[in-house]
Structure 1
Amino acid sequence: MGKPENNAKGVKGFFTHLITLLWWHLPIKREGRKRIKDFVFTRFRPLFCHTKVYRNWKEADMLSGITYNENDVDYPAHWPSVGHGKIRQPSPVAVDTSPIDDLAIILHVYHVEIMHEILRYLVKPSNQKVKLFVTCPHEKAEEINGVLSNSHIYHELLAFENRGRDVLPFLKACAVAFEQGYGLILKLHTKKSDHRMAGSIWRKEIFNALLPAKARTDIIEIFNGNPSVGILGPTGHIVPMSLYYGANAKGIGYLCRRLGVDTRELHDMAFVAGSMFYARKEAILPLLELDMPDAVFEPEAGQLDGTMAHAYERGFAISSYAAGLWIVDNRFDPRNPQPAITTNHRFTW
């Protein structure tokens, strides 16, 4: 028989999970959920002030109302001090307007079976020069190398510690791809989202928008014809930053400080949910040049939210903004460059 305290924790965890499921499956849109939390946490603060969901709400509220002041925030000790190291001042960058005729696809593989879905798109004939950079944990490298060798796709395999989800390996692979002269990146990963029953639908929607040969051709033409486009994501998966902070407000505020962005400007920003998108080199460089140590990213422990990797998913948009570049979707129209913003993303908790 288990110890009483362990049984109590198990019961508490079960009910917490049950309440979370009920909350997210109520037929209430994201904006309505925010209004409910604003009302409940403001009027009944003493009942909730010691809960994690209240702390997340409070940190997001701080981001919305004031400039995030490092002196007011208890950053984890393993995050480099904002007052030390590189701090970039936002300013429009000079974009390389040379015609883009090649593409670096950076694919992080954790679920090898899903990698096969992606490779099926890439083995079909196309008119792009594509190099596939595959990142993975060390323990999966041998299996993945065998799959890639049989695919006859031009590739490079980069194995890393299983840390930072798809984000830290992506940053490391970006440095390699940029060094090799690639100026346009397609970021992909073998998304499974086991905590979301619709995870496979989400993944296929994104793959179908970004991966077919014609889609790649059309998107490269968008970047060639519009130097102000920094990041392009799939239509229907671009969401407002202010409604989707989750448990990441502290990390987002930290990245804003490092990038020199006033957090009040987050209200008008959007990011790509699912973290799969095309990006111009200049949109990623502000974030990459922060040169953050690997230790900033938490070791993998099955976290669903609240890690530095989750903050960086939003941080790519902040980086593009800091460079003076737009975020658009794949239905981009230069006469109206604003992307279609989805305020009630059906795949995101």
Structure 2
Amino acid sequence: MKLLVHLHIYYYDQIPYFIEKLSNISGVAWDLFITETKHNEDVEKIFNNLRVIPHYIETDNVGYDIWPFIKVVKSVNLDDYDLILKLHTKNIRDHNSKINGCRLNGPQWRNELVDSLLINRKHFGKLINMFKHDDRLGLICSYQLYSKKSNNRPEDLSMLQNELGRLGFKFQGDRFCAGSMFMAKAGLYGFLQSDNIQASMFEGIARTKSIGSMAHVYERILSMVPYEYSHTVKTIHTNYLRSLQIMVSGYMRPLLEWLFSITVIGENRQKFLTLLGIRFLIRK
């Protein structure tokens, strides 16, 4: 098998971390594509210790890690690759983020995404074997960060549906890899090579929850697209205690929300109070 590895670098201080993780790739031929908004020649010296010669691509500073990935896909012949491994540096948060009921702070979000793919060589080899022995497997990502779409953000509602329609996709997925690091079959992403997907689409930034961004729309699409081609998605457990917490939360949350909850629904962000299954509008 041959693997295309894409690493988008925005936070240069994280390079040593990714060098260490990339060293866990073994047992496959692979090419490394590194994207930057402006190429830093010092980076080349750092990556010389890897067993591959990286390809460096400059990219517009739009679309976070999503447009750089699309640009890499546009630059290659996907028939040359069996799999794609998508990675990127990620901001280290000084506040908690809550996904699937689990709180993440500092580098935990980044580390969970990466460790689900590259925690060690043995683990990486297991993932490769999963693809070798399951023709229908389309994508692998973290269980902890395989998140359900919201019911009130444009990138999960109108923007997503409009873009799926524009692309001619029929699938209806409800979960995606939050943070967009995954390993997937390369052939799934041929649609990204179309001329109707350009950098200018990704120039907007979502500054509030009521204004979505095309980058976040494609964050959903990239990890849902296996369903369009009758492929499956498998998730990886790196911390079984957290996985158990997510499972319990998944069973208990509907009951708790039925008993009492305050939720925001729809792109107009109407607020509702639910009490014993009866819903009351409390804010338009």
- TM-score w.r.t. structure 2 length? 0.71
Distance 1:276 1:245, change over 3 A: farther
Looking at structure 2, the residues matched to 284 and 190 of structure 1 have their Cα atoms a distance apart, in angstroms, of: 21
Looking at structure 2, the residues matched to 318 and 208 of structure 1 have their Cα atoms a distance apart, in angstroms, of: 21
DSSP 3-state at the match of 1:233: strand
1:192 paired residue among 63, 69, 91: 91
Q: CA deviation at 1:208?
A: 1.6
1:123 paired residue among 7, 15, 23: 23
**Which amino acid is the alignment partner of residue 10 of structure 2?**
Y
Looking at structure 1, the residues matched to 69 and 226 of structure 2 have their Cα atoms a distance apart, in angstroms, of: 16
1:274 maps onto 2:173 in alignment: no
Deviations 1:134-189 (A, max 9, x none): 11111x43232332235554321111121111111101112334357112000011
Looking at structure 2, the residues matched to 158 and 303 of structure 1 have their Cα atoms a distance apart, in angstroms, of: 28
Structure 1 portions without partners, runs of 5+: 1-100, 332-339, 345-349
More relative contact order, 1 or 2 (CA 8 Å, 6+ apart): 1
1:316 maps onto 2:215 in alignment: no
- 1:31-110 pair list within 5 angstroms: 101-110=1-10
Contact 2:8–2:34 at 8 Å: present in 1 too? Answer: yes
Contact 1:141–1:159 at 8 Å: present in 2 too? Answer: no
2:200 paired residue among 284, 288, 295: 295
| Structure 1 segments of 4+ aligned residues over 6 angstroms from their partners | none
Structure 2 portions without partners, runs of 5+: 97-104, 238-245, 254-284
Deviations 1:40-94 (A, max 9, x none): xxxxxxxxxxxxxxxxxxxxxxxxxxxxxxxxxxxxxxxxxxxxxxxxxxxxxxx
Looking at structure 2, the residues matched to 280 and 185 of structure 1 have their Cα atoms a distance apart, in angstroms, of: 6
Distance 1:152 1:278, change over 3 A: closer
Distance 1:125 1:318, change over 3 A: closer
Match of 1:71 in 2: none
**Root-mean-square deviation (Å):** 2.8
1:213 maps onto 2:118 in alignment: no
Larger of the two Rg values belongs to structure: 1
Which structure carries more strand by proportion? 2
What percentage of aligned pairs have identical amino acids? 25
Looking at structure 1, the residues matched to 51 and 26 of structure 2 have their Cα atoms a distance apart, in angstroms, of: 14
Contact 2:226–2:233 at 8 Å: present in 1 too? Answer: yes
Match of 1:260 in 2: 168
Contact 1:231–1:283 at 8 Å: present in 2 too? Answer: no
Looking at structure 2, the residues matched to 313 and 124 of structure 1 have their Cα atoms a distance apart, in angstroms, of: 25
Match of 1:175 in 2: 74
Aligned residue pairs, count? 230
- TM-score w.r.t. structure 1 length? 0.59
**Which amino acid is the alignment partner of residue 254 of structure 1?**
N
Looking at structure 1, the residues matched to 11 and 229 of structure 2 have their Cα atoms a distance apart, in angstroms, of: 33
Match of 2:40 in 1: 141
Q: CA deviation at 1:282?
A: 2.5
DSSP 3-state at the match of 1:105: strand
**Which amino acid is the alignment partner of residue 228 of structure 2?**
A
Contact 1:130–1:154 at 8 Å: present in 2 too? Answer: no
1:132 maps onto 2:32 in alignment: yes
Q: Which has the higher mean CA deviation after the structures are superposed, 228-237 or 182-191?
A: 228-237
Looking at structure 2, the residues matched to 116 and 134 of structure 1 have their Cα atoms a distance apart, in angstroms, of: 14
Q: Which has the higher mean CA deviation after the structures are superposed, 167-176 or 117-126?
A: 117-126
Match of 2:274 in 1: none
Match of 2:159 in 1: 251
Contact 2:78–2:186 at 8 Å: present in 1 too? Answer: no
Looking at structure 2, the residues matched to 184 and 283 of structure 1 have their Cα atoms a distance apart, in angstroms, of: 9
